[in-house]
Amino acid sequence: MANHLKAIWDADPDSAPQERPSFENDIVGRFRSGRLVKAGGKEIPESLNEWRVTTGDPVVADKIAELLGGEVESWETDKEDDLQVLTATKTVHIIIEPDGVDASFKQFIPGVGLTHHCDGFNFLSPDEDKGEPCRCPSLINERKMKAQQGRGPKPSVDIEFRLLDAPDLGKFRFNSGSWKLVEALGPLFADLDKFGNAADEENGVEGKPVRASLTIENVTYVPKKGRMAGQTVSYNKPVVKVLGVYASEAAEDEVKTLKAA
C-alpha cells in the first residue's frame, strides 16, 4: 500500500491537516462540586454528590466521560468552558502540581471583579496595598457573617492538578469557598511540605508533584443543641488527602534500571 495523495498537501500547505496542539501545560478544565439550577424563576445553588467537570475542549470532555463516567453536554455560560460532564465519581486520584494549592480570602463584586484579596490580616494584592492591614475581623464567626452579608471576603482555596490516569491531558483546577476545607488546610499543607511540594527559590529547590485524592464527602449528623437540634443535617464537603510523592512511569523505569545495574 502507498499514500499516493501525500503530495497534494505540498501544493496547498495551508489546507494540510494539523496535529492537535498539546495543552498538557494549560488549564483545560475545572472540577466543580455544585451548579446553579433554575427554580421559581431564580437560579439557586445545588450541591452535587459526584464531580462535575467543565471544559471548552471536546477531546478533554470525552476523556473525562470515559474515565469518570457521565455524558458530555453543553451548558449555558459566557465563559469558554461550555461543555460539562456530570460524572459518576465521588473520588478522583490526582497529581497536585508543585505549589499547586493556594489559599486566601477574596471578594468579587459583579461588574467590578476582585475588590479584596488578603490572608485574613494583610492585603495580598494589589501591589500598592500588599502588606497593609486588611482590617478583617479576628473572630471566625464574624468573618463568616460579613462574607454572608457581602461585606467581606470569602475563603478561596485553589488546587491545580493533573489526573493520575491521564497526566498528559492537561491541568485542571478546583476552587472552593468551603470553611470546612479551610479548617483542614493546616494538615493539608503539613502533608504537602512533608513530601516537598513547595519550591524553595532561595535555595534553588524545585517543588515536587504529589499523588493525592480529591473527594466529595457527605457528612450527616443530628445536632443535640441549637435551632436544628434533633433534625438530620446533611452537607457535602471537599476532602483532599495527600498520598505521597508522584513519580512518572519514565522516572520509575529509570530508578528500576539503576537498581538493576
What pLDDT digit, counting tens, does each position of 196-245 carry?
A: 999 887 778 889 999 999 999 998 888 777 777 777 778 889 999 999 99
Placement of cell 455560560 in the chain: 77
pLDDT digits (tens, 9 = 90+) for 86-143: 999 999 999 999 999 999 999 998 888 999 999 999 999 999 999 999 999 999 999 9
pLDDT at 9 > cutoff 70: no
> Does residue 6 or residue 179 have the better pLDDT?
179
For the residues of 34-76, what is the DSSP string, one character each?
EEEEEETTEEEEEEEEEEEEEES-HHHHHHHHHHH---EEE--
pLDDT at 157 > cutoff 70: yes
| d(C-alpha 180, C-alpha 118), whole Å | 19
pLDDT at 118: 96
Q: Which of 52, 158, 34, 156 is nearest to 96 (CA)?
A: 158
pTM of the model: 0.81
| d(C-alpha 166, C-alpha 169), whole Å | 6
Placement of cell 465519581 in the chain: 89
SS (H, E, C) 204-255: CECCCCEEEEEEEEEEEECCCCCCCCCCCEEEEEEEEEEEEECCCHHHHHHH
| Residue 21 pLDDT class (50, 70, 90 cuts) | low
| Residue 2 pLDDT class (50, 70, 90 cuts) | low
Peptide bond into 110 cis (omega under 30): no
Count each helix (H run) and each strand (E run) in the chain, helices first: 6, 11
